[in-house]
Amino acid sequence: MAGIKKITTARDLLTAIHQIQPVSKPLPGYEDRVVSRFPLGVCMDECYPGLYIGDIGAAKDKAYLTKVGITHVLNTAQGNKFATVDTDNQYYEDVGIKYMGMKLLDIPTANIKQFFHSGADFIEDALATGGKVLVHCFMGISRSATISCAFLMLKRDMSALEALTTLRKNRAIFPNDGFLSQLAELDNNLRSQRQ
């Protein structure tokens, strides 16, 4: 029927994720030679110009972050419990990296949407000043990917599908079902606001 607008669902987003195979790329900072990520204990990828998604290994390696030119770190898994990362402003103070933390667990019932706007603003501030931002969680696939996706939707006017595709082409992201539902809700809200 003409005029009926399709509503984005978490299932639509999940289907799209499954259809995209990430491109294998060298570890940032080691483009000139083949370096395995595993012995270094660092896993990070540039998923959008200046926006990197990574894991605890990347987040905790200040020397590596400095080498790559990271100016901002957004920890979407702040804490000292299982599957969290225990960093804060003081952790990065000696290397001059700006920090933002979000206390989130990677469970479908977590309210990640409460951080969509503040996370997007932090990333935008980093990029607008010519910086590079690492958005990370424990493994760099769910919480960090969801906040990065929200940034692309809110600040770059992408749909949820476009944002997830952009990120997934560059890293094997896989937000949990609850996070996909919250991204779908954001997508539907933004689409109705932009009409």
Reported as a single tens digit per residue, the pLDDT across 158-188 is 999 999 999 999 999 999 999 999 999 999 9
pLDDT category at 1 given cuts 50, 70, 90 is: very low
- Count the domains in the chain: 1
pLDDT one-digit tens code per residue, 127-147: 999 999 999 999 999 999 999
Which pTM value belongs to this model?
0.92
Q: Is 25 within a domain? A: no
Q: Is 108 within a domain? A: yes
Contacts 24+ apart (CB under 8 A), 9-13: 9/184, 10/177, 10/180, 10/181, 10/183, 10/184, 12/161, 12/184, 13/160, 13/161, 13/164, 13/175, 13/180, 13/183, 13/184
Give the residue numbers annotated as catalytic, written as ranges: 137
Q: How far apart are CA 159 and CA 62, in angstroms?
A: 33
Q: By residue range, what is the domain housing residue 53?
A: 43-193
Q: Is 1 within a domain? A: no
